[in-house]
Structure 1
């Protein structure tokens, strides 16, 4: 099958997956649009699947559409499942893409997809192929920043140490313990609630911290940092095959 590229545009970076046939060949991260376009040309890209949850420059989008075939994923795109979400136009396309990948990996299972990034998102697709929604909560850095912003004396911590003891013995270690262990407890507890509600559910992790958190949780979890890119490609293949 032709060469395809998935582009996940976040708030500051563009994460790009290069696909040939059904295999993800490599992943690159770009800040510069000129370097991105040159990489696409060098790869002889034929189709692009684009998911934008950040600030996509209009000039870049025009350049991409002028030089390549582009599927810009949004709420009106054809998806391989039914979406029962009250406000589909506000639903992040990265969340939908991750669910699309989970559905392809586990097509007959109810899946809970947890994306650990700036925010932590929980997304559920049933074994009957229905996306129901999920939840959103603050990620590690948002929790640390909130403690600094909304108090008079707590410092701003930017470097996360995941190896802090449960019992902190300084302001720094107490904040780290609260942020890290609090989020771990939230995720573990949320997984358990979903497991009680949905029999045979499969949990998948994605996002930059997926592997870090997977190793610290007791639950059996499938972790793939590139789940969103793979989901964008899954949606792109569906679109290409139906046109």
Structure 2
């Protein structure tokens, strides 16, 4: 079995794979909790992606005897990366690899809905060119509150009224319908250039929006872990 570890800003995710199949998924609050759990499992190889901790620190805490790949900008990838900046986020690399693994030889658009909303385009299941980054839903709520004198900080509710009849409901309508409109516009624009196009939605806010998009989409919550496993398998084959 292989293990994919995604160390985010607040949570640590662990995916256990048998070949390409995700057989278990767990979330931890700390690396120490992860270390205790991972030592209980019969794991051959591990891949780690971290947005907040150094590889040396992770190695010191986990004390793993397994073969470990730490994802960075020099890690060989199963797709051709045409991105022109060396600052491409590891989470973006992982979701592209996940889409490539699940939809080989096909055009795909990945929409990752987290703190930011990222749009990643993969042509023919092989060529990654980049995409777009915009503020996520909760960032938009916070920005309206933080950068104005009187607008309150609100959160999402259901259902969202199209016409907000209070300031709070107007903010909710503007943010939620703004995100929906943005996503549908991106989908339509990319479909015009990369047709036919698979649309994949993932990330923390994906569940809220997946039923609100008119286009046919694939909701894949753990696409980052799937992508990390694909990168691990690719490195094992070269």
Q: Same fold (TM over 0.5)?
A: yes
Question: Per-residue deviation at 1:113?
Answer: 0.6
Equivalent residue runs for 1:166-177 within 5 Å? 166-177=162-173
2:131 match:
134
Question: Which residue of the other structure, out of 156, 180, 198, is the alignment partner of 2:176?
Answer: 180
Normalization by structure 1: what TM-score? Answer: 0.93
Is 1:162–1:180's contact at 8 Å kept on the other side of the alignment? Answer: no
Question: Per-residue deviation at 1:26?
Answer: 1.4
1:201 match:
197
Question: Per-residue deviation at 1:167?
Answer: 0.6
Is 1:17–1:229's contact at 8 Å kept on the other side of the alignment? Answer: yes
1:163 match:
159
Question: Per-residue deviation at 1:129?
Answer: 1.5
1:77 match:
75
TM-superposition CA deviations, 1:5-36 (whole Å, max 9, x none) = 11111111111111123221111111122210
Gaps of 5+ in 1: none
Change in CA separation of 1:128 and 1:232 when aligned onto 2, cut-off 3 Å = closer
TM-superposition CA deviations, 1:216-241 (whole Å, max 9, x none) = 01001011000110000000011122
TM-superposition CA deviations, 1:188-211 (whole Å, max 9, x none) = 111001111112111111112223
Is 2:107–2:121's contact at 8 Å kept on the other side of the alignment? Answer: yes
Is 2:31–2:62's contact at 8 Å kept on the other side of the alignment? Answer: no
1:27 match:
25
Is 1:111–1:201's contact at 8 Å kept on the other side of the alignment? Answer: yes
Equivalent residue runs for 1:204-219 within 5 Å? 204-219=200-215
Gaps of 5+ in 2: none
2:232 match:
236
Q: How many residues get paired?
A: 238
Question: Per-residue deviation at 1:69?
Answer: 1.8
CA distance in 1, matches of 2:3, 2:91: 15
* Secondary structure of residue in 2 paired with 1:107: coil
Question: Which residue of the other structure, out of 176, 180, 191, is the alignment partner of 2:187?
Answer: 191
CA distance in 2, matches of 1:54, 1:134: 23
Equivalent residue runs for 1:69-108 within 5 Å? 69-87=67-85, 89-108=86-105
Is 2:83–2:128's contact at 8 Å kept on the other side of the alignment? Answer: yes
Question: Per-residue deviation at 1:67?
Answer: 2.9
